[in-house]
């Protein structure tokens, strides 16, 4: 009995990168609640390491993320941090609505700050939680996409520096330091090597599953994969006589667990609300607007037109794989636009050399590029597709060899100059060296946040002349 009193134990459950797989969040709630029954309420902590939200999900889009507040509270999370899907796809006002007020959870992120000065009251640089006589210090950091965050009214700093600062502030006040890292496995490994004062890193962002966790420089490095298929469990034992810590971890697959009924009720209720919000009418079509992965199509052209105008560019350029389906005759709602264009991808204005534009156009007629699977970087489709364009007229000789099929490119009626820079309205996904690699060779880029490309589609659909112009062919084949 005396030995039991001497050993104090807590269990931390950690989730990450759920990306609005709400049904799996309901299973995670069951696992966490089972843990509270097994180990005692006082001995359990629940944390989320970011990207709980994803605006590709109808319930998330239609509630501006508010459903996640309810899910996190109902599951009784203690601490969460911000992933890029929270910080870069919701406005500061929307995040205020989700995170302000009385919640079961604290929001901790050490390397993000309000661009105007004072941080919102709900955002903390660290947290100290005491459970069962054990003091746990929690710091957190998110991926340093500062050029994007500035467009959203935030600024991010070097995560390693921010983490070091906060760890130094709390290390002497706590028994254990836990880092919630929405930085990716490579950076987690660097932190574990360089920082001796962190006991546990709970990771995210790169969707890696560490089961069992790995130990680097006496730091336990954990992660629970993606989409809520697993939840992490870290057990911490503290010998109060010797101050010796024992930490071990595992991941629990969620598939076999029942969905927690209170969570499914929330999903259902907010789902009905989201559907109602997304019934907002956009336009009425008198003719269908198809799209295609393999060939030029009006709806893809419409998006390219919109990007060109929105970014005030000479050329519009977008892959047709951004659009998952076309639009039928009749009323078009915001929900339909969300359904066919779910990716939280933003417009951007690039300055590109003619030769890099030509290379991408050459690639876009090749089947290996059209059928190329794409994952991540905001893309919620399946395959790359072809390039839809505006401001360009392109002639293709089908019988020519690969990368030599294009025989003519005109930019607003003038021949494309390979060594001249052009302004191009396109999408931020291409800046990450995804799809057509030459499009990442930009001289300058201006990101246009917070609007998503589906908003561009909505605007273009409101004007009949745009629909007419989208029918004109930009590509011809000989």
**Per-residue pLDDT tens over the stretch 8-31:** 999 999 999 999 999 999 999 999
Put simply, whether the predicted model's pTM sits higher than 0.85 gets the answer yes
Q: Which residues pair with 114 in a beta bridge?
A: 154
Cα dihedral across residues 222, 226, 227, 229: positive or negative: negative
Domain boundaries defined on the chain: 2-274, 281-477
The pLDDT assigned to 1 comes to 44
Look at strands 330-333 and 421-427 and give their pairing: unpaired
- Alpha-carbon span 181 to 159, nearest angstrom: 9
Q: Architecture of domain 2-274 in CATH?
A: 4-Layer Sandwich (3.60)
Look at strands 106-108 and 330-333 and give their pairing: unpaired
> In terms of C-beta density within 10 A (0-12 exposed, 13-18 middle, 19 or more buried), how is residue 9 classed?
middle
pLDDT per position as a tens digit, 31-83: 999 999 999 999 999 999 999 999 999 999 999 999 999 999 999 999 999 99
Instruction: Determine contact, residues 88/148, Cβ cutoff 8 Å.
Output: yes
- Alpha-carbon span 193 to 396, nearest angstrom: 53
Q: Each residue of 100-128: b (16+ CB within 10 Å) or e?
A: eeebebbbbbbbbbeeeeeeeeebbbbbe
Percent of the residues in the chain that have a pLDDT greater than 70, as a whole number? 99
Chain position carrying tokens 């011809």: 476
pLDDT per position as a tens digit, 353-380: 999 999 999 999 999 999 999 987 678 8
Rounded to the nearest 10°, the torsion over CA 261, 262, 267, 271 is 110
Instruction: Determine contact, residues 322/303, Cβ cutoff 8 Å.
Output: yes
- Segment 430-439 shows an average pLDDT of 94
- Alpha-carbon span 301 to 299, nearest angstrom: 5
CB atoms within 10 A of CB 473: 11
Backbone angles phi, psi at 280, to 5 degrees: -55, 125
Residue 3's pLDDT band (cuts 50, 70, 90): low
- Segment 77-91 shows an average pLDDT of 97
pLDDT per position as a tens digit, 206-237: 999 999 999 999 999 999 999 999 999 999 99
Q: Which CATH class is domain 281-477?
A: alpha beta
The pLDDT assigned to 376 comes to 74
pLDDT per position as a tens digit, 237-253: 998 888 888 999 999 99
């Amino acid at each position: 009995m005396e030995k039991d009193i001497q050993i104090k134990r807590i269990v931390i459950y950690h989730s990450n990168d759920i990306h609005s797989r709400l049904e799996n969040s309901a299973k995670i709630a069951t696992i966490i609640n089972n843990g509270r029954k097994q180990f005692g309420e006082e001995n359990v902590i629940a944390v989320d390491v970011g990207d709980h939200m994803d605006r590709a999900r109808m319930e998330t889009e239609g509630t501006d993320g508010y459903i996640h507040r309810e899910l996190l509270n109902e599951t009784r999370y203690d601490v969460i941090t911000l992933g890029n899907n929270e910080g870069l796809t919701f406005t500061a006002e929307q995040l205020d609505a989700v995170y302000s007020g009385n919640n079961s959870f604290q929001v901790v992120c050490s390397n993000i700050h309000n661009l105007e000065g004072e941080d919102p009251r709900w955002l903390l640089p660290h947290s100290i939680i005491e459970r069962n006589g054990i003091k746990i210090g929690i710091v957190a950091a998110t991926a340093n996409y500062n050029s994007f965050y500035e467009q959203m009214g935030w600024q991010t700093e070097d995560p390693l520096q921010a983490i070091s600062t906060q760890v130094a502030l709390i290390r002497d006040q706590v028994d254990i330091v836990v880092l919630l890292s929405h930085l990716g496995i490579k950076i987690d490994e660097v932190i574990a090597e360089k920082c001796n004062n962190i006991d546990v890193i709970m990771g995210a962002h790169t969707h890696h599953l560490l089961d069992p966790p790995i130990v680097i420089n006496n730091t336990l490095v954990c992660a629970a994969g993606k989409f809520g298929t697993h939840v992490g469990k870290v057990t911490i034992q503290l010998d109060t006589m010797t101050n010796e810590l024992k930490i071990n971890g595992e991941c629990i697959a969620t598939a076999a667990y029942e969905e927690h009924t209170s969570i499914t009720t929330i999903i259902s209720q907010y789902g009905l609300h989201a559907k109602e919000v997304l019934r907002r009418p956009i336009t009425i079509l008198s003719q269908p607007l198809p799209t295609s992965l393999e060939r030029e199509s009006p709806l893809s052209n419409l998006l390219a037109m919109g990007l060109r105008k929105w970014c005030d560019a000479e050329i519009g350029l977008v892959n047709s794989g951004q659009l998952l389906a076309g639009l039928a005759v009749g009323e078009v709602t915001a929900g339909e636009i969300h359904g066919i264009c779910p990716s939280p991808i933003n417009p951007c204005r690039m300055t590109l050399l003619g030769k890099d534009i030509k290379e991408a156009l050459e690639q876009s007629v090749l089947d290996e590029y059209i059928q190329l699977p794409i994952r991540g970087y905001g893309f919620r489709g399946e395959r790359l597709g072809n390039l839809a364009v505006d401001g360009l007229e392109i002639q293709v000789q089908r019988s020519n060899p690969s990368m030599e099929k294009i025989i003519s490119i005109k930019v607003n009626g003038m021949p494309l100059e390979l060594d001249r820079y052009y302004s191009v309205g396109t999408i931020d996904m291409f800046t990450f060296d995804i799809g057509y690699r030459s499009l990442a060779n930009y001289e300058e880029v201006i990101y246009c946040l917070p609007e998503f490309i589906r908003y561009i589609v909505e605007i273009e659909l409101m004007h009949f002349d745009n629909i007419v112009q989208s029918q004109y062919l930009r590509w011809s084949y000989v």
